[in-house]
Amino acid sequence: MDLDFSKTDGLVTAVIQDHESGRVLMVGFMNQEAFRKTVESGFATFYSRSRKKLWTKGESSGHRLVVKEIATDCDRDAVLVRVKALGPGVCHNGYQSCFYRHLEDGRWVESEPRSYDPDEVYGGGA
Amino acid sequence: MDLDFSKTDGLVTAVIQDHESGRVLMVGFMNQEAFRKTVESGFATFYSRSRKKLWTKGESSGHRLVVKEIATDCDRDAVLVRVKALGPGVCHNGYQSCFYRHLEDGRWVESEPRSYDPDEVYGGGA
């Protein structure tokens, strides 16, 4: 299970993809402990660079990411985690995916409606 | 087109996804110039952290990535680039995707055969 954590301050990039639809849901980072916890628990767990601690996605919202398969890339500094996403959306802003805006004529444009109300899930403090 | 380049030494994460199959092909990083060049040229261009310079994917192999759509995530520190991949494979090791190994009982196992011979494309120096 050796990954190369040396390139980004002890972290690897983690791409989260819906295992059925193939939609990319979010991107995060994992340190060695987060990766081990992801594998052992079966729930995607990240290292938050801003809060400087581990966080299991869904620990406050319940929107957990159930690991279905993990792949790594040629130089082992990134992982692709295929998941079943519990709940109506992965993004804390209320969308199915964090990638809810696309580039159109030089501007970021929302591509889709919200899939849930983040105020109801995160208590208005999201 | 404002992205947040402040979190990873002037870079954003760039996830490259096949626009038809949905397969995640590779992950790289873009600085502001690489992102601008990606948008303006229509070919995915990255910043190489090891070589400390821009590189347009395919400049030696011909396996370019034609941009079909670009999305960004909620905090604008990652982009998802949906592409048409020219050539038989994106990975310089000879596979369709850089994510050609998956985790199985604690070991990385190759999931697929090579899609081309990298020695023929990269002249044995890949």
Distance CA A114, CA B17 (A): 23
Nearest CA in chain B to A3: B108
Please give the C-alpha separations between residue B54 and each of B3, B5, B45, B46, B85, in angstroms, as whole numbers: 18, 15, 7, 6, 19
Q: A35 CB near a chain B CB, below 8 Å?
A: no
Tokens of A15: 């791409």
3-state helix, strand, coil in chain B (%, to 5): 10, 40, 50
Helix (H/G/I), strand (E/B), else coil: A122? helix
Q: Is the pLDDT of residue B104 over 80?
A: yes
Contact A49 B7 (CB under 8 A): yes
- Residue A86 DSSP class: P
Q: A41 CB near a chain B CB, below 8 Å?
A: no
For the residues B35-46, what does the mean pLDDT come to? 98
pLDDT at B122: 84
Q: What is the pLDDT of residues A36-69, one digit of tens each?
A: 999 999 999 999 999 999 999 999 889 999 999 9
Kindly give, in sequence order, each residue whose CB lies less than 8 Å from that of residue B103, ignoring residues fewer than 6 positions away: A1, A39, A69, A70, A71, A72, B109
pLDDT at B124: 58
Q: What is the pLDDT of residues A6-45, one digit of tens each?
A: 998 999 999 999 999 999 999 999 999 999 999 999 999 9
- Most A CBs within 10 A among B24, B67, B68, B82, hence the mutation to make, goes to B24
**A and B: number of Cβ contacts within 8 A:** 95
Chain B residues with CB-CB distance to A100 below 8 A: 71, 74
Q: Among partner residues A1, A73, A101, which is closest to B71 by beta-carbon distance?
A: A101
Q: Is the pLDDT of residue B98 over 50?
A: yes
Q: Is the pLDDT of residue A126 over 50?
A: no
For the residues A112-123, what does the mean pLDDT come to? 92
For the residues B48-69, what does the mean pLDDT come to? 94
Distance CA B77, CA A29 (A): 12
For the residues B74-88, what does the mean pLDDT come to? 97
For the residues B118-125, what does the mean pLDDT come to? 79
Distance CA B22, CA A120 (A): 32
Band (B126; pLDDT cuts 50, 70, 90): very low
Q: B110 CB near a chain A CB, below 8 Å?
A: no
Q: Among partner residues A70, A100, A111, which is closest to B102 by beta-carbon distance?
A: A70
Q: B13 CB near a chain A CB, below 8 Å?
A: yes
Q: Is the pLDDT of residue B125 over 80?
A: no
Band (B60; pLDDT cuts 50, 70, 90): confident
What is the distance in angstroms between the Cα of B74 and the nearest Cα belonging to chain A? 5
Distance CA B11, CA A53 (A): 22
Contact B24 A7 (CB under 8 A): no
pLDDT at A124: 58
Distance CA B57, CA A55 (A): 34
Q: Is the pLDDT of residue A123 over 80?
A: no
pLDDT at B39: 98
For the residues B36-42, what does the mean pLDDT come to? 98
Q: Is the pLDDT of residue A125 over 70?
A: no
Contact A73 B102 (CB under 8 A): no
Q: Among partner residues B23, B27, B108, which is closest to A13 by beta-carbon distance?
A: B27
Residue A110 CB-half CA count within 13 A: 9
Chain A residues with CB-CB distance to B101 below 8 A: 71-72
Q: B48 CB near a chain A CB, below 8 Å?
A: no
Band (B123; pLDDT cuts 50, 70, 90): confident
pLDDT at A55: 95
